Amino acid sequence: MRKLVYAFSAVMLLTACGADDETDNASEEVNVEEKNSEENNSLEGQKGAEKPLSVAELDDRIDEGMNIDTYSAEVQSWAEKGQLEMEETVIVDEENTSSADILQLADGFLGVAYDEKEVTEVKMFQSAENAKEYFESL
């Protein structure tokens, strides 16, 4: 009878130890899968996003006199690609016919003032606050 109790105890002990190993292996597999998933999501995000534009690059692409519809479409496209971020839009005059977009770029900020028809001013700034103060003082 003792041998049976010892054998049963040994089987239970080995079963318990084996279950811990399987649990450890399962958690390691989950961790590896989570890490791979995070890396894939990171790579997918990088594929969709393009290199951020610099102030100089955008200053060359946006000119005074540019049609407002063309300007809006291009800025929206660049924002969707992650090449710039629209910081804020400021009302320039009291009649609400002129506004200015403050665009955050890789190396600074670009303020673009426009009326109902065209871009009226393009100016570089070191901060969004400087751009906002400038356009609000016009």
> Kind of pairing, strands 85-91 and 108-114?
unpaired
Q: For residues 32 and 64, state if they share a domain.
A: no
Residue 86 pairs in a beta bridge with 103
Q: For residues 27 and 65, state if they share a domain.
A: no
Q: For residues 96 and 132, state if they share a domain.
A: yes
The tally of CA atoms less than 13 A away on the side-chain side of residue 20 is 5
Q: For residues 62 and 41, state if they share a domain.
A: no
Sheet containing strand 119-125, strands side by side = 85-91, 99-105, 108-114, 119-125
Q: For residues 35 and 85, state if they share a domain.
A: no
**Which domain does 100 fall in, by range?**
55-136
Q: pLDDT tens for the chain, 138 residues: list them.
A: 555 555 556 666 666 666 555 555 555 555 555 555 555 444 444 445 689 999 999 988 999 999 999 999 999 999 999 999 999 999 987 777 899 999 999 999 999 999 999 999 999 999 999 999 999 998
Q: For residues 21 and 77, state if they share a domain.
A: no
Q: For residues 95 and 127, state if they share a domain.
A: yes
Q: For residues 76 and 92, state if they share a domain.
A: yes
Stated pTM of the model = 0.65
User: Is residue 124 within 8 Å of 73, Cβ to Cβ?
Assistant: no
Look up residue 67 and give its DSSP letter. B
The span from the CA of 78 to the CA of 84, in Å, is 6
Domains held by the chain: number: 2
User: Is residue 123 within 8 Å of 116, Cβ to Cβ?
Assistant: no
User: Is residue 62 within 8 Å of 118, Cβ to Cβ?
Assistant: no
The span from the CA of 22 to the CA of 98, in Å, is 67
